Amino acid sequence: MEKIKVITRLTNREMSAHDFINYCKNIVVNLKNIFSDLKMVSIWDDSTNSKFYFENNLANFSVQNLDKILIYNPEEDVFQNDNEQDKNLYENSKSWIGFNTLLYLSKDKSEASDLSINITQGASEKNKTALINIEFSDEFLTTLTKDFSIKLIESLEKSGDLVYAVVISNELRRKVKTSGQNLWIGYLTYFQHKNIKINLPDSVNSINYDKGILIDLGEKIEISDEAVNKAVTIRNILGDEALNYSS
């Protein structure tokens, strides 16, 4: 089975820990509004070595659970505070490298999650990577459709920071990647308008949004010679300038 995933790149925005948690909450709310069957939101709690489930209305997805939501090492990681000597994490702390979390969405409380969502954002230093990457369980992949994937990208666009998104597998990426580029053309590929100007071949479909364009290789999200050939054609049209990310 092809392991399909969603890889994105965002415009980095400096945030406090509190800001980052609210940012992640908004992303989850947008996803739940579109995919109402994904009712359960959880995170791995190292203190109990088990999943911690948030309330259905996400009322406790807040700074009260800061230590659960943020992934960090309290023995090693340092943060920026008004008191420059204090390097501990608080709700108003900032981070040179950005904050990170890994969230799980599922239809019910089960050991396996349908979606795993990795979010990195909020660095105070320039040129740090910001992203939302999503992976699917094997069971969920058997039901994954193009329509679902399009709605997923549309939901992520609501973050306001989406620069690039791709629905891709490792197999397709190996066939289309080339040196000098750190972005790839996938089964579905989103580019923010200001980062791309492209004349697509007639054989390639696209959807225009207010903020970007979504390029569609075909009806099915699966590897084929046709999909690879289209992806390589688009890659060659875009070139290195469009297929490189900087925050």
pLDDT mean over 224-229: 93
Output the six-digit token pair for 244: 């490189």
pLDDT in tens, 70-96: 999 999 999 999 999 999 999 999 999
Q: d(Cα 41, Cα 217) in Å, to the nearest integer?
A: 32
Quickly state the pLDDT bin for 240 (edges 50, 70, 90). Answer: confident
CA atoms within 13 A on the CB side of 117: 25
pLDDT mean over 28-39: 93
The pLDDT value recorded for residue 26 is 97
**Least confident piece of the model among 12-21, 135-144, 201-210, 211-220:** 201-210
Per-residue exposure over 31-62, b if at least 16 CB sit within 10 Å of its own CB, e if not: bbeebeebebbbbeeeeeeebbebeeeeeebe
Per-domain residue ranges of the chain: 13-108+117-126, 145-247
Quickly state the pLDDT bin for 112 (edges 50, 70, 90). Answer: confident
Quickly state the pLDDT bin for 195 (edges 50, 70, 90). Answer: low
Listed ranges 36-40, 132-136, 138-142; the one with the highest mean pLDDT:
132-136
pLDDT mean over 199-207: 84
Per-residue exposure over 209-243, b if at least 16 CB sit within 10 Å of its own CB, e if not: eeebbbbbbbeebeeeeebbebbebbbeebeeebb
Average pLDDT, the chain: 93
**Least confident piece of the model among 4-8, 156-160, 194-198, 230-234:** 194-198
Q: d(Cα 105, Cα 135) in Å, to the nearest integer?
A: 11
pTM: 0.94
Q: d(Cα 54, Cα 46) in Å, to the nearest integer?
A: 15
